[in-house]
Every structure is written in C-alpha cells, then in structure tokens.
C-alpha cells in the first residue's frame, strides 16, 4: 500500500479533531496551558488562527488521516515560535519527528520551542534537529534552532 503524507494548513473543518487532541489528558499535562478548552473557545481560536497573518497552523495527514499538528507564530524579532502535538493514537511512532522534519525542510530563520519540564519525548525529539537549550523559567525549558 502506498503511503501519502502531506503537511497542509488547517481549515475550519479541522476544529473537531484539533479540539479532541487539545483536550487529551496527556496533551494537557505536557502543555504550558493545561486547562480544558470549550467548543466555543476552540472555534474562536481556529477562526483567529486562520485569519492571523503572523500565525500559521499545519496539520499532518497520512493517507488523509490527521496524525499531528504544528503551529508557527512569527514574533516581532523575526523568529518563529513553534507548538506541536501528535494525535494521541499515533504517539510513540516518531510522528513528531516526521512532522518537524517536513516543517523545517527548506525553511530559514530562528525557531523557538517552549517545552514543559519533564516532557522528555519532546525534548529528545527537538534536540535531534539541533535545537539548543538556552534558558529555563517557571518549569518551562526554552530551545532555539537557527537555520541559514
């Protein structure tokens, strides 16, 4: 069977799956903001994400099945702050690594990740790409990668 892998921008039709992943217990444990999100709050988030010129969110699909998401926020410093999560059903299968690889191909600039202390799988994954730790504040580790 052929495998088709794409990284595409999110649409409003991704609302349900993204909310499900966002409110997953493990996702919330590893998120900087760990509160449950309501449907209305998430609808507003999706709408704002799609219309915000400084934010782009992608969804990774394998054979048209959503398996992960990665969001970039362009900061005033011309750096990109990244946030990502993997479909809970696909954890432990190196999907985050695959998604980050697809995202970073041919991209130039500085990329930042904030990772909650204790989220070892995420730390290991970004360190494989060359992200370097540069500070820790209130239980959050900060990493940076610069590609020229």
CA triple 78-71-124, angle to 5 deg: 95
| Secondary structure of residue 132 in the 3-state scheme | strand
Instruction: For residue range 20-64, list pLDDT tens digits in order.
Output: 999 999 999 888 888 999 999 999 999 999 999 999 999 999 999
Cα dist from 26 to 10, 19, 21, 34, 52, whole Å: 22, 14, 9, 10, 28
Instruction: Give the up-direction half-sphere exposure of residue 65: CA atoms within 13 A in the CB hemisphere.
Output: 10
Would the pTM of this model clear 0.85, i.e. be above it?
yes
Distance between CA atoms of 117 and 109, rounded to whole angstroms?
Answer: 25
The answer to whether residue 123 scores a pLDDT higher than 90 is yes
**Backbone φ, ψ for residue 77 (5° rounding):** -85, 5
Total H helices, total E strands in the chain: 5, 7
Which domains, ranges and CATH numbers included, belong to the chain? Answer: 5-147 (3.40.630.30)
Instruction: For residue range 57-95, list pLDDT tens digits in order.
Output: 999 999 999 999 999 999 988 899 999 999 999 999 999
**Backbone φ, ψ for residue 59 (5° rounding):** -125, 135
């Amino acid at each position: 069977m052929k495998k088709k892998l794409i990284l595409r921008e999110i649409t409003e039709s991704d609302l349900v799956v993204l909310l499900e992943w966002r409110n997953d217990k493990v996702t919330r444990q590893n998120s900087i903001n760990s509160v449950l999100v309501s449907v209305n709050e998430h609808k507003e988030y999706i709408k704002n994400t799609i219309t915000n010129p400084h934010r782009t969110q992608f969804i990774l699909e394998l054979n048209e099945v959503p398996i992960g998401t990665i969001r970039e926020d362009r900061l005033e410093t011309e750096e990109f702050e990244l946030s990502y999560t993997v479909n809970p059903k696909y954890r432990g299968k190196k999907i985050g690594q695959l998604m980050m690889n697809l995202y970073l191909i041919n991209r130039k600039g500085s990329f930042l990740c904030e990772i909650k202390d204790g989220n070892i799988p995420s730390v290991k994954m970004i360190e494989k790409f060359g992200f370097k730790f540069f500070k820790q504040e209130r239980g959050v580790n900060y990493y940076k990668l610069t590609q020229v």
